[in-house]
Amino acid sequence: MNWAMKKFILPIIICVSSCTIAPRINVSGVPAPANTVIDGKIYTTAYQQHAAEYRALCLQAYNIAHLRVDEIEKENTPKPKALITDIDETVLNNSAYEAHQVLQGKDYESISWSEWTAKADADTIPGAYSFLKYAAAKGIEIFYVTNRNDAEKQATLNNLKKFNLPFADNDHIFLRTTSSSKEERRKNIEATHSVVMLLGDNLADFNFLFDVKNAEHRMQNVNALANEFGERFIVLPNVTYGDWEYSLYHFNYSLTQQQKDSVLRASLISY
């Protein structure tokens, strides 16, 4: 090989050697721990923030709710009409919190969640504002039943008031006390009002039959209450978190990410 050719080939060899991106190698020889929970929530958070399909599903739910209000307006009830709505992922969008967590390789944490809600900076879910204003204008009282705790009450009200949402006051917000079940709080409202509609992203927002039930029982109870969906129950999409996930873990909140990964993989139906 003459010198001229060497001068031509040598830079190419150097460039290939230095510019090629090496594959990720686990030098310990032990498989790297799976991170399905966090990696999965990167996808679901991106879906919530950027998928036009997510927005369409929310608008579809609230469009159905609008139609039901028009029908309910004509009905006579023994007590004043009311609707019960969940807050998180039903009225307020917390995907910014999910993004903050997954970008740090973390799942939900009570401390970081409290820091997030204290900001009172969550946006609204598509369709929520116009529907709640419409329902209120039709004479339906709005009650917010949430599993946020009492320490988050004022910040939560501030967030709702930021968008001038109706009935955002102390008398119309019911937070978690001793139990995450919403049944007792729903009954307190039903004592004075005819609850004509419930809105939520988690089935436990609608009926005690979904409180701490495994995945199979949740499916069975959905079938048993099939006629309620789109009538009295309006469901908003949430693929990022909820009882659907924890029912797979049998509500064992102490599982590590690796243990959750194993459960999720084992739950998949394949061929």
Q: How much is the average pLDDT of 51-56?
A: 98
Q: Are 200 and 85 in contact (CB under 8 A)?
A: yes
Q: Are strands 81-85 and 141-149 parallel, antiparallel or unpaired?
A: parallel
pLDDT tens digit string along 138-161? 999 999 999 999 999 999 999 999
User: Which residue in 181, 184, 188 sits closest to 203, CA to CA?
Assistant: 181
Give the pLDDT score at 34: 60
Contacts of 160 (CB under 8 A, 6+ apart): 87, 91, 92, 144, 168
Helix axes 36-50, 52-72, angle to 10 degrees: 60
Q: How far apart are CA 10 and CA 13, in angstroms?
A: 5
> What does pTM read for this prediction?
0.87
pLDDT tens digit string along 93-120? 999 999 999 999 999 999 999 999 999 9
Taking all residues of the chain, what is their mean pLDDT, rounded to a whole number? 90
| Neighbouring C-beta atoms of residue 207, cutoff 10 Å | 18
Which strands sit side by side in the sheet containing 141-149, from one edge to the other? 173-176, 141-149, 81-85, 194-200, 233-235
Q: Are 124 and 91 in contact (CB under 8 A)?
A: yes
Place of tokens 């929520």: 128
pLDDT tens digit string along 178-219? 899 999 999 999 999 999 999 999 999 999 999 999 999 999
Q: Are 210 and 235 in contact (CB under 8 A)?
A: no
Place of tokens 């079938």: 223
Give the pLDDT score at 8: 41
Question: Which DSSP letter does residue 88 get?
Answer: B
35 — pLDDT class (breaks 50, 70, 90): confident
Give the pLDDT score at 33: 57
